[in-house]
Structure 1
Amino acid sequence: MLTYYSDDHRLQDGKAELIDGRLEPCHEAPVRADIVLRHVRAAGLGEIVAPGDHGLAPIARIHAANYLGFLQTAWPKWVAEHGDYDALPLNWAVRGMRSVEPDSIDGKLSYFSFDAGTPLTAGTWQAVYASAQVALGGAAAVGGGERMAFALCRPPGHHAAGDYFGGYCFLNNAAIAAQAFRDGGAERVAVLDVDYHHGNGTQTIFDDRSDVFFASIHADPRQEYPFFLGHADETGSGAGEGATANYPLPWGTAWGGYEQALEQAVGRIGTFGAEALVISLGVDSFKDDPISRFRLEHEDFLHIGAAIAGIGLPTLIVMEGGYAVDALGVNVVNVLKGYLDAA
């Protein structure tokens, strides 16, 4: 197994996020990737590989030009206006307001984001660009004949849509990889999101497309962030009708309920006719995760890995969430081991 990784992830190191009405230290921190990497090495799962530079073009296949321009230029504009501290948005366009891109940096931050938990910093662009390259490196390896690769992406990506960020995510690594598979010749691609939080960005990106199937197993949006997507009746629109499947589960879900949803999602992917599979791997469904409310145990992640292997497709596993730092490496490695043992 190849693991793709870049040290540039450390350049995204926000000081605080707004959570539970307070500014708190960011849950999404560099230590997350460092711990996962250490456990992958300790488990002897294979070579750690630098991703190379696949350029901006594959990222621009997913993200809007004005959004990418904003991410590349926002920091100096913020510093000029406010000073050298993390940038967070001020307000958002809601029902009854117009969605017109403002000129000021404060307005742009609000226009291109959907929460106040995702600080933009001096190193954000370099870190998220590198994270996308990690996903692209893994996709290239799988497209070139590797059965499976692990993209140790950080920052994560599945909450980022084509032109907005949030949920600790700026560029949608899984979507960029899925599009790379398509551009590499795969007629159909499936994305399975097993993060505790719904992959609203990925769903939005592929909502009206019939060539990419998106399935997500997540906490019910009536109870849990990001709240406004992920209901079971969202099945795609236009040409994409039927190419989205959501499996919202209630707080307190343990392996029994999770397994049923996973079996259904795997079944749907099996009938879609995909030629490549992208996994948005969040392990924040773990029972001790500080910002999640599922009840999965360490060994359950072995079963998730085995179920993914059972789909039988060339697979790229892309790192997303998981914030129980002490357990993070164990749970990620269990998914990878579960896959390798079953493949």
Structure 2
Amino acid sequence: MQVYHSEATKLRRARTELHDGQLMTPFECPERVDLVLARLRDSGVGPVAAPREHGLAPVLAVHDAAYVEFLSTCWDEWQAAGHGGEAIPTIWPTRTMREDRIPGHVGGKLGYYALGGDTSISPGTFEAAMASKDVALSAYEHTASSGQPSFGLCRPPGHHAASDQFGGYCFFNNAAIVAQRALDDGHARVAILDVDFHHGNGTQQIFYGRDDVLTQSIHGDPDQCFPYYLGHADEKGEGPGLGYNVNYPLPPGTDYATWRERLELALAEISDKQASLLVVSLGVDTFEGDPISSFRLKSDDFLDMGRRLASLGLPSVILMEGGYAVEEIGVNVAKVLQGFQGA
């Protein structure tokens, strides 16, 4: 399997995350990339190649132009305003306030474009997000030209990024960018299957009213789990997209046997909807040792997961999302890819 990786994805090295009432070092860190790469090389999954640059056009195909401009200038604006720490939102246009005006001050812009206060903007964030998008698109191009599966070691991840909001460590929605590019290349329908512990709220929002992308997510019940306000089973799409968004929320403590049942339902739905390309948002934070998740998958379960994903027989692009049990992240990613290849 061809693997794509860019050292530029590690340019984002945030120091600050608000978690459980404390400011701490983020769980999403550059070391995740090194651990995955090392394990992939040890396991012989496939060659690693650098991506080519794709510019902003693919980003603007799914993201709001003003939002993209904000991400590109936020850090400089934050510094120019005299702030010493990293850029963290502290106020939002909530239910009792207006959301039809974007403030001029960077602090107001942060709240307008942020999903929550968990994700800071630090030096190198925009550059890393651009590199992550290039990794995803280069993986897609390999699959499109060869028919063979590919893995994009994306960082930052992408599935929480909506058309004009960042959060959950995500800035550009890599899976959505790839899906739109595939549609532009002539695919009639693309399936995005999100297997991260957390709901892919951004992916859902981008395609919610469309039937050319089937979006599915198997995740922790939003009644108990981030991002809380999206990801319920009754969210099925709207207008032309009705029936093309499927959520499988599961309770804390879910084991692989239960999780696998939802995977089989998702795979059957992909076949029924006749997708011609599979994009997998691969989070391995469903692992039992993950520090910010609550499922109970074991490392060997990821091998079976990969086999089942391959059983569709579709051209497939697998993109890295979450996974924060740093000691095991490389093992679990490698097992998914080995299972896929072995099938």
CA–CA distance in 2 between the matches of 1:279 and 1:162? 19
CA–CA distance in 2 between the matches of 1:21 and 1:83? 21
1:187 aligns to what?
188
2:308 aligns to what?
307
1:166 aligns to what?
167
CA–CA distance in 2 between the matches of 1:242 and 1:297? 32
Alignment of 1:317 with 2:343, yes or no, is: no
Q: CA deviation at 1:82?
A: 2.9
1:17 aligns to what?
17
SS in 1 for 2:328: helix
1:142 aligns to what?
143
CA–CA distance in 1 between the matches of 2:105 and 2:195? 37
Alignment of 1:1-343 (within 5 A): 1-99=1-99, 100-342=101-343
Superposed CA deviations along residues 229-261 of structure 1, whole A, max 9, x for unmatched, are 110010001110000110000000001110111
Q: CA deviation at 1:119?
A: 1.0
For the Cα contact (< 8 Å) 2:194–2:280, is it kept in 1?
A: yes
CA–CA distance in 2 between the matches of 1:53 and 1:9? 13
SS in 2 for 1:74: helix
Q: CA deviation at 1:85?
A: 2.7
For the Cα contact (< 8 Å) 1:190–1:274, is it kept in 2?
A: yes
Aligned length: 342
CA–CA distance in 1 between the matches of 2:52 and 2:286? 32
SS in 1 for 2:146: coil
Superposed CA deviations along residues 207-246 of structure 1, whole A, max 9, x for unmatched, are 0000000010000000100001110010001110000110
Q: CA deviation at 1:24?
A: 1.2
Q: CA deviation at 1:96?
A: 2.4
CA–CA distance in 2 between the matches of 1:53 and 1:24? 33
For the Cα contact (< 8 Å) 2:13–2:123, is it kept in 1?
A: no
Give the TM-score of the pair, scaled to structure 2. Answer: 0.99
- Structure 2: 5+ residue stretches without partners: none
CA–CA distance in 2 between the matches of 1:114 and 1:83? 21
CA–CA distance in 1 between the matches of 2:336 and 2:296? 16
CA–CA distance in 2 between the matches of 1:5 and 1:41? 12
For the Cα contact (< 8 Å) 1:232–1:245, is it kept in 2?
A: yes
Superposed CA deviations along residues 94-139 of structure 1, whole A, max 9, x for unmatched, are 1121112110000000100011111101101100000000001011
Alignment RMSD (CA, Å): 0.8
SS in 2 for 1:325: coil
Give the TM-score of the pair, scaled to structure 1. Answer: 0.99
User: Amino acid of the residue matched to residue 163 of structure 1?
Assistant: D
CA–CA distance in 2 between the matches of 1:71 and 1:245? 30
CA–CA distance in 2 between the matches of 1:84 and 1:163? 26
For the Cα contact (< 8 Å) 2:306–2:336, is it kept in 1?
A: yes
SS in 1 for 2:327: helix
For the Cα contact (< 8 Å) 1:143–1:184, is it kept in 2?
A: no
SS in 2 for 1:32: helix
**Percent of paired sites with the same residue:** 49
Superposed CA deviations along residues 256-296 of structure 1, whole A, max 9, x for unmatched, are 11011111111111101111010000000000000000000
CA–CA distance in 2 between the matches of 1:181 and 1:308? 19
SS in 1 for 2:218: strand
Q: CA deviation at 1:84?
A: 4.5
For the Cα contact (< 8 Å) 2:54–2:134, is it kept in 1?
A: yes
